[in-house]
Amino acid sequence: MGEVRGNAGLMSLVRYVAVQVFGYGVDLSLFLLLFGLAGVGPVTANVVAKVGGGLFAFLSHRHFTFGVSEQRGQVRQALLYLVLWALNVPLSTALLGLLVLLEAPAVVAKVAADVMCVGLNYWISKNHIFVGSAERSDRPSGRLSQGR
């Protein structure tokens, strides 16, 4: 039983990282479009990019990472995820700003700041937002495991 639970936890972490990579693609693409092409400052571009990446990540984590398929609790989870996101934006932006002040290139600073936030975000998502749903199955959707 412990091995199954450990595998499920490992699989939720793997799915979390995969979603984060895709979500980061959305985030970084928006950042590069705004900062690199539109000439928006790095801090403003980062905040806007976080909105796009955050929307993608919430929907993907809810359905794919943690296998939540029922509607019950969706509003609560969305609100908690919004709080996490709202706390993450100033944290990652402050780290980005600090790294830029230390003369890191803006894109390098953004990547470094966001990587620093991933572990904390996973722990909070798993233990406080999508509580219990990660333990349902080692598969991406809770619906797949209901037939067992």
Whole-number pLDDT of residue 119: 77
pLDDT at 133 over 50: no
- Across residues 105-112, what is the average pLDDT? 92
User: What are the pLDDT digits (tens) for 1-38?
Assistant: 455 456 777 888 889 989 989 998 999 999 999 999 99
- For the chain, report the end-to-end CA distance as a whole number of angstroms: 16
pLDDT at 141 over 60: no
Pairwise CA distance, residues 98 & 119, whole Å: 20
pLDDT > 70 fraction of the chain, expressed in percent and rounded: 84
Identify which of 45, 54, 70 has the alpha carbon closest to the alpha carbon of residue 20.
Answer: 54
| β partners of residue 11 | none
pLDDT at 137 over 50: no
Identify which of 75, 89, 80, 69 has the alpha carbon closest to the alpha carbon of residue 124.
Answer: 80
Whole-number pLDDT of residue 5: 58
- Across residues 107-115, what is the average pLDDT? 89
- Across residues 59-70, what is the average pLDDT? 85
The SS3 call for residue 141 is strand
pLDDT > 90 fraction of the chain, expressed in percent and rounded: 36
- Amino acid identity for residue 29 in this structure: S
Whole-number pLDDT of residue 132: 52
